[in-house]
Structure 1
Amino acid sequence: MKRIVFKVGSSVLTDTKSIAKQRMLNLVSLIVEARKKYEVILVSSGAVSAGYTAVQLNRSVPTSKKVLASVGQPILMSSYKNKFDIYDVPISQILLTEEDFDSRVHTQIFQDIIERTLRNDILPIVNENDISTTPDQLFGDNDQLSAHITYHTGADLLVVLSDIDGYYDSNPRDNPEAKIKKIVTKIEKEELEQEHTPNSQFATGGIVTKLKAAQFLMDTNQKMFLCSGYDLTTAYEFIMDGIHNKGTLFTKN
């Protein structure tokens, strides 16, 4: 059975004051369908923004951000569990840092855990452990984390569900004529060096981190599909029916 990794961003999962329940339910429904055809790993952002729905601390203060993550992580996982329980899908939580990918021993540990959860029909939900770590121990965004998870678990595809519906040939906010690049086989150096421009106050990435994730996977001959997390039609069509109407596929082939 083929294996795919879904990565979902904070802006998809939360609104300013609450978990975006319908969008999360739509995501859960998509994953349930995908599990009929693939082994699925979910990399989920949203702990900090979920924490902010309960406690309005200043996320620009490092310690406050950690507090928000500590508050938000159980809120996020409880929301996931409530929705996956509808479909009788058991879930697990796996928190990682960049250091887990630098140590062969640590890497083997999380690989074994993920393999065992999948063999037992459990959905692993991965997030970065930014509560008790220093900045140099973190990826800093889940785009990079999800790319490394895709590589180290031998997944066939990373599907990034975002607040944008693909990679455009120019900024669609500035250019109404901008068009989505459906297939990208090469990313130029200057594209990777653009200024980070996350659309949400709780997002840590933006298009640049997605391009870096795509480049990492293209270098390892793996693929990434970038599409909207608000309307999951594009993702469903691509992974379930092999139809590529919207979204961007990053591939070396």
Structure 2
Amino acid sequence: MTQADSDQGEVLSGTRQVIRSARSVVVKIGSSALTSLEGGLDTGRLDLLADAVEARMRAGSDVVVVSSGAIGAGLAPLGLTSRPKDLATKQAAASVGQLALAHAWGTSFQRYGRTVGQVLLTAGDFSRREHHRNAQRTLDRLRALHAIAVVNENDTIATDEIRFGDNDRLAALVAHLVGADALVLLSDVDGLYDGDPRRGGATFIPEVRGSADLDGVIAGSGGALGTGGMASKLSAARLAADAGVPVLLAAASDAAAALTSATVGTAFAARPTRLSARKFWVRHAADSRGAVLLDAGAVRAVAKCRRSLLAAGITGVRGRFSGGDVIDLIAPEGTVVARGVVEYDSSELETMIGRSTTELPEGMRRPVIHADDLVKV
């Protein structure tokens, strides 16, 4: 019996019920579901995915599509036989493939009289408040006009963003941006396993209710066409959970079932209390502008006791940043334990390292990072 058959015979969990009845859904489609190295964009598979999305919309849900595949769609037309490794060729492939991908989605949804709007984003658009609001307004308006928003990374100008996790993280950020009730990740895997199912002996995990359910799970990287993999999907699921959005991870070939009964794949529960919009932004969307090094006592204070960070617990400053920037907090062993909005410029902080509050001038006695602006990583 397959995992899908097994799930069909079970009563739906609370998480699957939420996903099944969600009024606002973000659907992310991986590169491998849309393209191949030999033939480029597969419009037949794309049409089947559009059919599943249209069925969900006709059932009463708003759907935003996050579509990978621009680079993969550009390989065959350019005569490339493998995913390029250098940035310039990736961007060139994306410039060709993005046009083909948008046209294919538009043609497919035209069968149902739907208009498609393309929205290209980079990670920087989520870290800049003005860009964030503009993207939110555009997506909301497209949904209000009953158009299909197809979101992708702007790979032709992106640098680090091309390694953004094959759009998994982007999809989770979009789910937060539009206030989605559910996120569905469709790719070439039928769910989460505790190891690589291609090697045999791996156990399927139908539900993830919390971090304890991931103990012992070994997550790998992406395949030939994509840059993601199970590691990026787990990261995206955690990100969405912080935003209060449950996630269903399923195979693109099971898209119809994923978007109707929600009986396939692995369901990830949302955290019971979602992060505030500000703390979500600090943890997931804002770019880190620098870092401070902490002693063991400061690590305990900010990571375990959720207290404000004081200058006395800082042992070093990295980078150049200004008051109001988001920075990382690094433990003595080198791991990032938290992020937060810093109150001081890096040059000011360098004069405050290791000093108690009473030793500081009157204007420097407030916390370096207030507890309300700190998020554990």
Tell me the CA shift for residue 103 of structure 1.
1.1
1:89 is aligned to 2:111: no
The structure 2 residue matched to 1:112, chosen from 137, 140, 143, is 137
Find the aligned partners of 1:54 and 1:191 in 2 and give their Cα distance.
43
Partner of 1:19: 41
Aligned counterpart, 1:98: 123
Flag the 1:137–1:172 CA change in 2: closer, same or farther, 3 A.
closer
- 53-62 vs 219-228, greater mean Cα deviation: 53-62
Could you say if the C-alpha distance between residues 140 and 225 of structure 1 is closer, same or farther in structure 2, counting changes exceeding 3 Å?
closer
Q: What is the alpha-carbon distance in structure 1 between the residues aligned to residue 53 and residue 240 of structure 2?
A: 22
Q: Which amino acid aligns with 1:181?
A: I
The answer to whether the 8 Å contact 1:180/1:247 transfers is no
Aligned: 1:50 with 2:73:
yes
What are the superposed Cα offsets for residues 208-238 of structure 1, whole Å, 9 maximum, x if unpaired? 00000001111222111000102324313xx
- Asked whether the 8 Å contact 2:153–2:161 carries over to 1, the reply is no
Structure 1 gaps of 5+ residues are: none
Sequence identity percentage: 33
| CA distance in structure 2 between the partners assigned to 1:20 and 1:214 by the alignment | 27
Which one-letter code corresponds to 1:15 in the other structure? S
Query: Would the alpha carbon gap of residues 232 and 220 (structure 1) be closer, same or farther in structure 2, given more than 3 Å must change?
Result: closer
Deviations 1:153-198 (A, max 9, x none): 100011001100000133212224x332111012369879966421
| Equivalent residue number for residue 123 of structure 1 | 148
Change (3 A) 1:49 1:186: same
Structure 1 residue 18, shift from structure 2 partner: 2.9
* 2:84 equivalent to 1:59: yes
Letter in 1 for 2:251: S
Preserved CA contact (<8 Å) 2:194 2:217: no
Gaps of 5+ in 2: 1-21, 273-377
How far apart, in 2, do the equivalents of 1:223 and 1:104 lie? 25
SS at match of 1:40: strand
Q: Residues 99 and 138 of structure 1 are in contact (CA less than 8 Å); yes or no, is this contact kept in structure 2?
A: no
Q: Kindly indicate whether the alpha-carbon contact (under 8 Å) linking 1:234 and 1:247 is maintained by their aligned counterparts in 2.
A: no
Q: SS where residue 60 of structure 1 aligns? A: coil
CA distance in 1, matches of 2:161, 2:48: 35
Larger Cα Rg: Structure 1 or Structure 2?
2
**Taking structure 1 as reference, are residues 136 and 235 closer, same or farther at Cα in structure 2, changes over 3 Å only?**
closer
1:48 deviates by: 0.3
The residue aligned with 1:183 is 207
Task: Note the alpha carbon deviations across 1:42-70, whole angstroms, 9 max, x for none.
Answer: 00000000000201346111100000000
Moved over 4 A (4+): 188-196
Q: Deviations over 1:128-156 (max 9, x none)?
A: 01212332697353000000000111000
**Is the 8 Å Cα contact of residues 196 and 220 (structure 2) preserved in structure 1?**
no
List per-residue Cα deviations over 1:93-132 (Å, max 9, x = no partner): 0000111111111100000000110000110000001212
> Are the structure 2 counterparts of residues 28 and 136 from structure 1 closer, same or farther at C-alpha, using a change threshold of 3 Å?
closer
Q: Which residue of 2 aligns with 1:208?
A: 231
TM-score in terms of structure 1 length: 0.90
